[in-house]
Amino acid sequence: MEQPRTRKLVAEYLGSMLLAALVIGSGIAAQRLSPADTGLQLTENAAATAAGLFALILMFGPISGAHFNPVVSFVDAAFGGLPWRHALAYLPTQIAGCISGAVLANLMFATTPVSISTTHRATAAHGLAEVVATAGLILMIFSLVRSGRAERAPAAVGAYIGAAYWFTSSTSFANPAITIGRMFSDTFSGIAPASVPLFLAAQILGGALALLGVRVLYPGMKPAQAADVVVPHVAATSR
């Protein structure tokens, strides 16, 4: 059954908050546990994010679709799965959730509640990496949904993000909301405000390319009626 919009927004806020707390908190823990080994820090951060993201999607997917990502929401709306008014409401909710999650992570590790990151990431290589990371994520999600395999999305999203920490130079932010949230923590997972515009532009471009890719690869295919995770509202309206 279609969930009320207020319940969806609460789920998106909480999921985005926990996602940011997960990414930033595990980054802080990794930095403290392995201070002399950047590779080990990244391994710990990636493993925690991959596993935690899987759990968060299972938790909130049946309510809001567990987007936690404006690019996912707007591509979903472009495919007709999410009403545009809901996608527009999701955007500030996801951003607010990720900022709250950054503050929560800082507090849990007894650091300053808000500390603006000084980690600069704005290079051409990082921009290209974000295009690839975002396009791959969106293409994977909607390929699964449109081919009737949406129930596999929680594991697939976690696995993809965990892998993309390593195969992209940007460590795969792939999400405008989490990019903005990560500005508010000057820790291992942070990003300097000056680097954010490049990341946002690359993520939007990656989402647009993925939307075209799904249309080419899956023309005329409809979302599975049993899809109760990632974009459950599609299933609800189909039924």
Give the model's pLDDT for residue 220.
Answer: 72
Write down all domains in the chain, each with its CATH number in brackets.
5-238 (1.20.1080.10)
Residue range 55-69, pLDDT digits in tens: 999 999 999 999 999
Residue type, 6: T
pLDDT band at 4 (very low <50, low <70, confident <90, very high): confident
Alpha helical stretches, state H, the chain: 5-33, 38-64, 70-78, 84-108, 124-146, 153-167, 176-181, 196-217, 232-238
Predicted local distance difference test score (pLDDT) of residue 210: 98
The span from the CA of 101 to the CA of 233, in Å, is: 26
Long-range contacts (CB closer than 8 Å, 24 or more residues apart) made by 86-93: 86/5, 86/8, 86/233, 89/5, 89/9, 90/8, 90/9, 90/12, 90/64, 91/177, 93/9, 93/12, 93/13, 93/16
Q: Kindly report, residue by residue over 112-155, the tens digit of the pLDDT.
A: 999 999 999 999 999 999 999 999 999 999 999 988 899 999 99
Query: For residue range 15-32, what is the model confidence (pLDDT) as tens digits?
Result: 999 999 999 999 999 999
pTM of the model: 0.91
The whole-number average pLDDT for the span 229-236 is 47
Interval 47-104: pLDDT, tens? 999 999 999 999 999 999 999 999 999 999 999 999 999 999 999 999 999 999 999 9
pLDDT in tens, 161-201: 999 999 999 999 999 999 999 999 999 999 999 999 999 99
Q: Please, what is the average pLDDT of the chain?
A: 92
Q: Is pLDDT above 60 for 227?
A: no
